[in-house]
Structure 1
């Protein structure tokens, strides 16, 4: 099978696409791929490292207010459709998969016009603008959150698949996570992470909370500041009037996050959909601080979905400070029954077979298209 993957801008769009590729390759090693991304997104640094052939389009998103830039966006979209058509006709894929971001628009739409089977995956509880637009043209829409199928009323077929990133992370080795952190296996770990670049609000609350983590001496805090904030946080800790607690490890970035996640007993984080898929795949209790600076406030909706099921506690950023964060952490760390219940509820939301579900759907689409071309249907 020949598969085109497209998705870009953020890791939340890119890593699910790569998880699908990983599953397809595991099922059929002779599967061939082409990844089409945008010129400005993170995919430019992430995808080439996977050795998947990579092409780019010059594409931007629409501004939500009236703007002359939207005219340029329309022109870029039309040029993107033309460029995508040329790439697709050359590669001749059996199926095209879109995982979100502006670049998906012209690629998936071009595939539709060329009658190539298409599937889009929506990571968030509230769909993005591009996936809303594409849903009426594709063969299948796959959603991460059960109950959000009705968000795509014009789609031909909507299926609950979970997030394929869950499959990748479910295989993570906890022992390797402890080794990477230089900690004995079984050490209770609270992982604090704000994403690859970090989250200013979480960092500020953590600095306020640090003196009080000595109240939990048996718990190891692994605090991932993000590369942007690491020097600032280290300076703040060094200049503080108190000694940095021995049970605090501060890191700018974690290269192999799945293994560290697998070793953790509690996670404090934002509420990006792909990261939540990883957390629930491993059944980890979470304290979630959704970013308010995202389209349609979708992170709060993502976080509330876990909170409503008893898998997480949520603190809105406007209520976040050292005290509120400490209270949430102590509530979970000091209550073994609550922690076990949250873990069970989290695992119940996880879909570790997500990538397999999507891979099976892609094979069905490809086989049906091949049968149509042969005149068998």
Structure 2
């Protein structure tokens, strides 16, 4: 697409506030840049949330617009939305004009809606990606503005939705767990042999998960189970220093090492987590958050249906469950191997490239039509 003095494709990416929106947006941007190095990619975000932290760190210019949070209930703040939205749409439109965007690719969150509306007013193509099993307000509205709508998987109720998967980092999609296993375990101070349980509550940690697993440390050790416990930066987990290793770390920057070291994962079921574990073929026990109408439970459904995961309610995660359900699984290599295959069967490792190819084709088609 590049060469001969032709200007590279110009893409505006809209998806901010939470890592669940930003990560797939940046992974998509990386895929576009890999396919077309001349692409000019600009991200739009707000000062709220993680936009100003995560997006510049990935090497993309960030244009800020006023935030317009959409209240989920009838509150006085709802009356302020029209005015704030108007200002934000104008700001997003100014960004589109300045960077001469040829397409807006949105990943949801309240930063996406102004970008969608500004693009529609200018006749700029809109491409929507929904990572969650239950779409948010911005993407539900955008799905009425365009037929180019892609979802994390089947069963997502979104107009014009086509199942695609979630864009992931190449470090995850290209991970060879067996090849990296010995190095990864040495990195964390784990034994080369024996089952390893990876415990994580996400970047912020999860108090329920931390408490349940740490309280079962003696039981896990008695059954020869090693633990790599990512507690979260705001949490402290105290476990006796003994054998087999129970390693506690606040955060892991390169998760491919944690995935390579593990045989099984106990974690929340955010959309990105579910997608990554499926991509690398790691079985899991998902402990979904109950907020937002049970969205996390829906995220885990495909992995559970495939046989690659278990589901445990937050209220049921305790020492008794770990002893009766989790430990028998962890010490059964045959069952672990079967679940790993079933987990991998639900993975979509090339979603980022597929979405990037679609967007680049959209731009090329528009250029041909407009001369």
TM-score of the aligned structures, taking structure 2 as reference length: 0.91
2:271 maps to 273
Would the aligned equivalents of 1:96 and 1:111 in 2 still touch at CA under 8 Å? yes
Is the CA contact 1:285–1:312 (under 8 Å) kept in the aligned structure 2?
Answer: yes
Q: Report the equivalent of 1:299.
A: 296
Is the CA contact (8 Å cut-off) linking 1:59 and 1:73 kept in structure 2? no
* CA positional deviation for 1:247: 1.7
- CA 1:125–1:290: 2 relative to 1, 3 Å: same
* 1:363 to 2:360 alignment: yes
In 2, Cα distance between equivalents of 1:6 and 1:40: 14
| Mapping 1:123-202, distance limit 5 Å | 123-148=131-156, 151-153=157-159, 155=160, 158-165=161-168, 167-172=170-175, 174=177, 175=180, 177-183=184-190, 188-202=195-209
How do residues 62-81 of structure 1 correspond to structure 2 at under 5 angstroms?
62-81=70-89
Q: Which of the numbers 317, 320, 326 marks the counterpart of 1:320? A: 317
- List per-residue Cα deviations over 1:137-181 (Å, max 9, x = no partner): 134111111232xx123x3xx321101126551123642533532
Q: How far apart, in 2, do the equivalents of 1:191 and 1:334 lie?
A: 14
8 Å contact kept, 1:25–1:31: yes
Change (3 A) 1:371 1:179: farther
CA shift at 1:76, angstroms?
Answer: 1.8
Residue 368 of structure 1 and its aligned partner are, at CA, apart by 1.9
Q: Is the 8 A contact 1:258 1:278 kept in 2?
A: no
1:105-120 → structure 2 map (5 Å cutoff): 105-120=113-128
Q: Is the 8 A contact 1:211 1:244 kept in 2?
A: no
Aligned counterpart in structure 2 of residue 212 of structure 1, from 201, 219, 227: 219
Conserved? CA contact 1:213–1:245, under 8 Å = no
The residue that corresponds to 1:88 in the other structure is: 96
String of CA shifts for 1:68-124, please: whole Å, max 9, x gaps.
Answer: 111223322211110000000010122211112110110122112211111111111
1:16 to 17, 20, 24: 24
Whether the 8 Å contact between 1:7 and 1:99 is mirrored in structure 2 is: yes
Shift of 1:33: 0.9
Aligned-residue Cα RMSD (Å) equals 1.9
Deviations 1:352-375 (A, max 9, x none): 11111101110121122212212x
- Asked whether the equivalents of residues 191 and 268 of structure 1 are also in contact (C-alpha less than 8 Å), the reply is yes
Change in 2 beyond 3 A, CA 1:13/1:179: farther
CA distance in 1, matches of 2:123, 2:354: 23
The question of whether the paired residues in 1 share the 8 Å contact of 2:302 and 2:346 is answered with no
Q: How many aligned positions are there? A: 359
Give the drift of 1:128.
Answer: 1.5
TM-score of the superposition, structure 1-length normalised? 0.90
